[in-house]
Amino acid sequence: MSKTQVIVGLGSCGIAAGANKVYQKLIKIKEVEKLDFELKKTSCIGMCYKEPLVEVIDESGAFIYGEITEDNVTDLVQEHIIGNSPIKEYIVKSDLFETGQESFFEPQIKIALRNCGHIEPEQIENYIAKDGYKAIQKIANEKISQENVIQTMIDSGLRGRGGGGFSTGMKWRFAYNYKSDEKYVICNADEGDPGAFMDRSLLEGDPHSVIEGMIIAAYAIGANHGVIYCRAEYPLAIKRLNIALEQAREKGFLGKNICGIKDFNIDIYIKEGAGAFVCGEETALIASIEGQRGMPRKRPPFPAESGLWRKPSNVNNVETLANVPWIIYHGAEEFAKYGTKNSSGTKVFALAGRINRGGLVEVPLGITINEIVFKIGGGIPENKQFKAVQLGGPSGGCIPAHLGETEIDYDSLQKTGAIMGSGGMVVMDETTCMVDMAKFFLDFTKKESCGKCTFCRIGTQRMLETLNRITEGKGQEGDIEKLEELAHQIIDNSLCGLGQTAPNPVLTTIRYFRDEYEAHIKDKKCPAKKCRELLTYEVIDENCTGCMVCAKKCPTDAIRGEKKQVHFVEQDKCIKCGVCYSRCKFEAISLT
């Protein structure tokens, strides 16, 4: 019988939930009890809503435990590892019985995330055991030409998973066609929207897949230098990347004549970025690598012709590169069998917001929004109504619930006004104010504007000021039209993707939730009851017992009345803090 394995999920999400403490407690228990089990580390398996996660693999099967803490990990050891009796109430996944969490996993197809949560990311042998580096070896052994590698990527239909969704193979072909004694492959790991959670998890959980993807890209275009541009806010990802790079050098996957391919020499280094959202745009990223301020430049020339240090360069994001080894090893047809006609393969989404089961999910393109929200995500908490989903990060669009059967692919999303982006998916319920939501995202993109383009720098500021006025009850007739006009001017006159997409949240919320804008402007009311300045707190006479709790807690003495008598709110003194509403036990405060 093989030794029992206990594997702790130590991705950033797990660590934040206390997984490190669980791991240390397991070390201590193992030493004190002199137990003979194998303790391992892995990364996030995507089930972030159940962190910390601990997997136990013994002779009877594999069991993933959720919400394991310092307090209950002792029970896990005593009952399962020592007593051979799995604790069903803690188990979130097992092949031996149902746990009620199966729908989180069933629709998923793991390609980019194939190894995350299943290997020790700091051990190259674990990656090799999962067919790691076999794709580059296949290229070497079968003497597959650069042109054929590029054609395989084109045939797979893989589109860039970072934003615009351009054909990866065509992008490589452009860089291949420009001849130079120096070329660069660049991994963009600096995207700053919620989808960056996906990038970070991939780098933390399976760094070698990204490195191998870069090696294959370098071979295909004839590059001899590689750069991973990763934001410094990802220290664990950078640590594991550095370990992986050193291991790849020791094994001969980086260096000279890789895998016996004559004159194929490539090494990769990490450039830490400062976390600027605009550096998700490839020319701004290149400027930052060169030590300049991260600002976009005019295209053409495109990076394929004149990129890093004015040499031909290819930029792909983390998820795109993680797919590459799988496609080369398994074939273009295998990848293309997933997805839709113009959107092949799978896509990773960071599912967040008002959702029961948030986390990292990888699904075949063509799946509907409703399938992700209700089947994988488990629906909306507290039986609230699904209202909308924000897709594509801060520059994406808000898609309303009535379009929930929309298939998620590049073309379908574009028709709704949203974008695929790098995979941020924020779910909203009936308590979300769509005007406030648009303001939130626009505030982010306004702050992240590099300032180079007048329309982006000033236009987003003017739009934000208008949205602020509307949510403060100072909106005026014509404000909606002004927002639309400004939005289109910013889109038409901005240099890079940040400015060109920044107005998307505003335009889509106006398109689908115009009535909420009009309620704010004309009626001075917030239908979702979120905009503080538009709220009115009043006492419901028949419910008020005169207990005086609200009066005592009111910070401005705005609630008046004698003990055991009906109270009332002096509106000119009320600062709309909501303390009375939250403290009343008799539902005697109305909010309108």
pLDDT at 424: 86
Cβ burial of 567 (10 Å; 0-12, 13-18, 19+) is buried
Range name among 197-201, 213-217, 338-342, 498-502 with the lowest pLDDT average: 197-201
CATH number of this structure's domain 434-523, picked from the four choices 1.20.140.10, 1.20.120.530, 3.20.20.70, 1.20.1440.230? 1.20.1440.230
Considering the chain, tell me which residue range(s) the CATH 1.20.1440.230 domain(s) occupy.
434-523
Q: Token pair for residue 188? A: 């963009």
pLDDT at 395: 86
Contact 547, 503 (CB under 8 A): no
pLDDT at 1: 45
pLDDT at 191: 63
Contact 538, 592 (CB under 8 A): yes
Q: What is the pLDDT of residues 519-560, one digit of tens each?
A: 999 999 999 999 999 999 999 999 999 999 999 999 999 999
Q: Token pair for residue 323? A: 């797919």
Q: What is the pLDDT of residues 428-481, one digit of tens each?
A: 999 999 999 999 999 999 999 999 999 999 999 999 999 999 999 999 999 999
The Cα 505–Cα 511 span in angstroms is 10
- Altogether, the residues listed in the chain come to a count of 592
pLDDT above 70: residue 335: yes
Helix (H, G, I), strand (E, B) or coil at 112: coil
Distance, C-alpha 217 to centroid of its chain: 24
Considering the chain, tell me which residue range(s) the CATH 3.30.70.20 domain(s) occupy.
535-591
Neighbours of 251 (CB within 10 A): 14
Q: What is the pLDDT of residues 360-371, one digit of tens each?
A: 999 999 999 999
Kindly indicate the confidence band of residue 196, based on its pLDDT and cuts at 50, 70 and 90.
low
| Residue % of the chain over a pLDDT of 90 | 91
CATH number attached to the domain at 5-100: 3.40.30.10
Kindly indicate the confidence band of residue 193, based on its pLDDT and cuts at 50, 70 and 90.
low
The label of the residue with tokens 């016996």 reads: 260
Kindly indicate the confidence band of residue 392, based on its pLDDT and cuts at 50, 70 and 90.
confident
pLDDT at 190: 78
pLDDT above 60: residue 195: no
pLDDT at 274: 85
Considering the chain, tell me which residue range(s) the CATH 3.10.20.600 domain(s) occupy.
340-429
Beta-carbon-side half-sphere exposure of residue 248 (alpha carbons within 13 Å): 30
Considering the chain, tell me which residue range(s) the CATH 3.40.30.10 domain(s) occupy.
5-100
The label of the residue with tokens 């005592």 reads: 552
The Cα 18–Cα 134 span in angstroms is 36
pLDDT above 90: residue 515: yes
Distance, C-alpha 4 to centroid of its chain: 34
The Cα 9–Cα 44 span in angstroms is 6
The alpha-helical segments, DSSP class H, found in 429-578 are 434-448, 454, 460-471, 479-493, 497-501, 504-518, 549-553
Instruction: Tell me the mean pLDDT in the region 221-228.
Output: 97
Considering the chain, tell me which residue range(s) the CATH 3.40.50.11540 domain(s) occupy.
124-336
Q: Which residues contact 77 (CB under 8 A, 6 or more apart)?
A: 26, 29, 33, 35
The Cα 282–Cα 317 span in angstroms is 10
pLDDT at 360: 94
The Cα 79–Cα 68 span in angstroms is 14
Residues pairing with 189 in the sheet: 230
Helix (H, G, I), strand (E, B) or coil at 386: strand
Kindly indicate the confidence band of residue 194, based on its pLDDT and cuts at 50, 70 and 90.
very low
Q: What is the pLDDT of residues 29-39, one digit of tens each?
A: 999 999 999 99
Kindly indicate the confidence band of residue 385, based on its pLDDT and cuts at 50, 70 and 90.
very high
- H or E element: which one contains 519? none
Q: Does domain 340-429 have CATH number 3.30.1280.10?
A: no
Range name among 160-169, 299-308, 311-320, 372-381 with the lowest pLDDT average: 160-169
Kindly indicate the confidence band of residue 421, based on its pLDDT and cuts at 50, 70 and 90.
confident
The Cα 520–Cα 439 span in angstroms is 13
Contact 285, 241 (CB under 8 A): no
Rounded to two decimals, the pTM is 0.93
The Cα 350–Cα 198 span in angstroms is 6
Q: What is the pLDDT of residues 77-94, one digit of tens each?
A: 999 999 999 999 999 999
Q: Does domain 124-336 have CATH number 3.40.50.11540?
A: yes
105-138: burial string, b at 16+ Cβ within 10 Å, e else: beebbbbbbbbbbbbbbbbbebbbeebbbebbbb
The Cα 50–Cα 68 span in angstroms is 9
The DSSP symbol for 302 reads P
Q: Which residues contact 564 (CB under 8 A, 6 or more apart)?
A: 545, 546
pLDDT at 283: 95
Q: Which residues contact 120 (CB under 8 A, 6 or more apart)?
A: 40, 41, 42, 126
Kindly indicate the confidence band of residue 275, based on its pLDDT and cuts at 50, 70 and 90.
confident
pLDDT above 80: residue 2: no
Average pLDDT, the chain: 94
Instruction: Tell me the mean pLDDT in the region 122-132.
Output: 97
Instruction: Single out the residue of 320, 329, 361 nearest to residue 157, CA to CA.
Output: 320
pLDDT at 376: 97
Single-letter amino acid code for the residue at 51: E
Q: Does domain 535-591 have CATH number 3.30.450.20?
A: no
**What's the chain's Rg over C-alpha atoms?**
27
